[in-house]
Amino acid sequence: MTGKHTGIIRGIFRAIFWIWLSLSFLPGNPASAEEKYYGDIEKIVAKGTIVVAAYSNDLPPFIFKNADGSLGGLDVELAQDIAKRLGVSLVFERPTDNFNALADLIMARKADVIISAFSITPKRAMKIHFTADYLRLHKALMVNRLKTAELLENSQNIGALNKEFVVIGANEGSVYADLARELFPKATIKLYKSHRLGSADMLAGQIHGYLCDQTCADSYNHPREWHKTQPPANWGLMIRTITLSEGDDPIAMATHYDDRAVNAWLNIYLSQIKADGSLERLVKKYID
C-alpha cells in the first residue's frame, strides 16, 4: 500500500469518527448520565457544569442584570440553551472588564467557552479556538458634533480626524482599541473601562469621538428597556453616529485549542439554530 493510499484511509477513518461524534451527541438531545462521550465533552458532562467566560460589566444587549438580579441578554440565552442541550448547569465566570483577558481564562482552564460579544481576531486565534461566527456587527464611530464640525464638515470622511490634536476613545482590550490605532495613527487614543465613561467624556467635549459596534451606538440612539442608563436628552443634538465601511465585526464563541470535540459540537449547534431560524429570532429580539 502506498503512502498516498494510507493517507486516504486515515482521512476516511477521521471523517467517520467526527460523523459518529456528531450523530451520537447531537445538540438538542440532553446528555444521559449513563452515556460516555468523547474526551473534552465527557469532562463537561461528568462535572455537570459548563463554565462560560463573559465580560464583567453589563453589556446590553448581550449580557446584563435584570431588576431581580438574574442575567438576561442574547449571549445569556445562547449559553442557557447550550447548557440545557448538554444536560448540565450553567455558571458564568466574569472577573474581567478587558475582552482580551477572556482568552486567558480559557487558556488557564478557568472556563470552558467564551460567549460574550467576543470578536474574532487573528491575534486572539493564536491563543484560543474560535467557532463559526453567529453574528456580524457593523462598526460605528460616535463623534461630538461641535468638536468635529470643522474637521468633518458633515461628511463621512473620518480620515479627516487623523490629526495630532484629535482624541478618540475606545474600550480597553477591545478590537476597537486596535481599530482606533489603525484608523487614526496620528491621534491620541484614550482607553476606557466602559463606553459609558467614554461617552460622558465625548458629550462633555473632552474627546472628539468614540469607536464601538452598532449595539453600543444603538444603546444611545435607540435605547431599550434593558439599557438602565438612558442617554441625556441632548444626545442627538450633540452626538452624531457614523457607520464605518471598514468591514463587519464577526462575533463567535471560543474554546481551548485542545477541546476540539466541544468546538465541533458548538459549530453543529450553531448550524442547527441558524437552519431552524431560532438564532435569527433571538437576534431580532435584542438587536434592531
Q: Provide the residue ranges of all domains of the chain, joining segments of one domain with +.
A: 32-136+251-286, 139-243
SS3 for 157-175 is CHHHHCCCCCEEEEECCCH
Q: Residue 217's pLDDT is what? A: 92
- Is pLDDT above 80 for 266? yes
**Taking the chain, what is the end-to-end CA distance rounded to the nearest angstrom?**
59
| Contact between residue 142 and residue 213 where contact means Cβ atoms under 8 Å apart | no
CA distance 281 to 239: 31
Q: Residue 9's pLDDT is what? A: 54
Beta bridge partners of 91: 51
Closest CA relative to residue 75, chosen from 97, 96, 107, 53: 53
CA distance 259 to 41: 8
Q: Residue 279's pLDDT is what? A: 98
| CATH class label, 32-136+251-286 | alpha beta
93-126 residue pLDDT tens: 999 999 999 999 999 999 999 999 999 999 999 9
Angle at 81 between CA 80 and CA 82, to 5 degrees: 90
* pLDDT > 90: percent of the chain: 75
CATH of domain 139-243: 3.40.190.10
Q: Residue count of the chain, please give it.
A: 288
| Contact between residue 179 and residue 189 where contact means Cβ atoms under 8 Å apart | no
| Contact between residue 79 and residue 117 where contact means Cβ atoms under 8 Å apart | no
- Is pLDDT above 80 for 80? yes
32-136+251-286 and 139-243 share one fold: yes
